[in-house]
Amino acid sequence: MEKAIIGGTGVYDAGDGYSKKVKTKYGEVELDILNIDGEEIIFLPRHGKGHSVPPHLINYRANMMALREIGVKYIYSTAAVGSCNDKYEPGDVVVIKDFLDFTKSRPVTFFEGGDESVKHVDMSDPYCRNLREKFYATAKEQGLSIKGDAVYVCTEGPRFETAQEINMFKKMGGDVVGMTSVPEVVLAKELGMCYATVGIISNWCTGVKEEITLHDIQGTIEKNKEKITDIFIKIFQQ
């Protein structure tokens, strides 16, 4: 089982399948195994079924280790994000190409010293270039318009940002803001898995335009989620 989809906010399934529990050193993870035209593709809802785990409490290490242990090499994920770049409006789809890390209290690595040698993982291409390019190409074939590449600012949450924080992120080159890409992308890299994220813009960030509501966020994701997961599956079948 080499291919997996991690569903972010609003993306809680990608087809029918059976569930499988995987035990890791960091905890147990329940994965959905989908059978798509004879091929098994793994689906993991990042926040748990029914969105019960907040971003700062997700067991990222268990999730990523479970995927690795089951044999995963390629991961596509979705992320609901706010936009602080005028170019990207609610409803738009972007491909995440880099991140700025503003998390504060999460385990961010598998490397914890002890007997292990010190490892510093390379971050020059945190989101797999190959998977990103394939997403662009297949989205075009399937008629899904992608607005462009985006720099993801990862905040700790679960609160939204202040208007001044958003001003700062804009000045630093951030395009979109979410609460989950770090450490997920970093842990994938540490385990040698190719990982990419497609951002669905669900709202304007604080202070950019109107106020944010969870209702708006879920509505905009609804419109895009099936098309995006279908594209992931098409790529996995190539």
User: Does 208 sit near ligand HPA (CB under 6 A)?
Assistant: no
Q: How far is the CB of 156 from ligand HPA (least distance, A)?
A: 10
41 burial via Cβ count (<10 Å: 0-12, 13-18, 19+): buried
224 contacts ligand HPA (rule: CB under 6 A):
no
Cis peptide before 90 (omega within 30 of 0): no
Q: How far is the CB of 155 from ligand HPA (least distance, A)?
A: 6
Quick one: CA torsion of 101, 102, 105, 110, rounded to 10 degrees?
Answer: 0
Decide whether 82 or 126 has the Cβ nearer to ligand HPA. 82
Number of chain residues interacting with ligand HPA (CB under 6 A): 14
User: Which residues, including other chains, have CB under 8 Å from residue 38's CB and lie 6 or more apart?
Assistant: none
Residue 81 sits in the site that holds ligand HPA (CB under 6 A): yes
Cα dihedral 65, 38, 12, 232 in deg (nearest 10): 80
Choosing from 17, 98, 148, 160, the residue that interacts with ligand HPA (CB under 6 A) is 160
Query: Exactly one of 45, 90, 174, 178 binds ligand HPA (CB under 6 A); which one?
Result: 178
Look up residue 184 and give its two tokens.
């997920």
Q: Does 67 bind ligand HPA (CB under 6 A)?
A: no
Interface residue with ligand HPA, options 32, 92, 101, 161 (CB under 6 A) = 161
CB 237 within 8 A of CB 36: yes
Beta bridge partners of 196: 76
Q: Is 82 in the site for ligand HPA (CB under 6 A)?
A: yes
Measured CA to CA, the distance from residue 144 to residue 229 in angstroms comes to 12
Interactions with ligand HPA, residue window 121-150 (CB under 6 A): none
Q: Is 217 in the site for ligand HPA (CB under 6 A)?
A: yes
- Binders in 87-116 for ligand HPA, by CB under 6 A: none
Q: Which amino acid, residue 54?
A: P
Least distance from C-beta 222 to ligand HPA, angstroms?
14
Q: Which residues bind ligand HPA (CB under 6 A)?
A: 80-82, 155, 160-161, 177-179, 202-203, 205, 212, 217
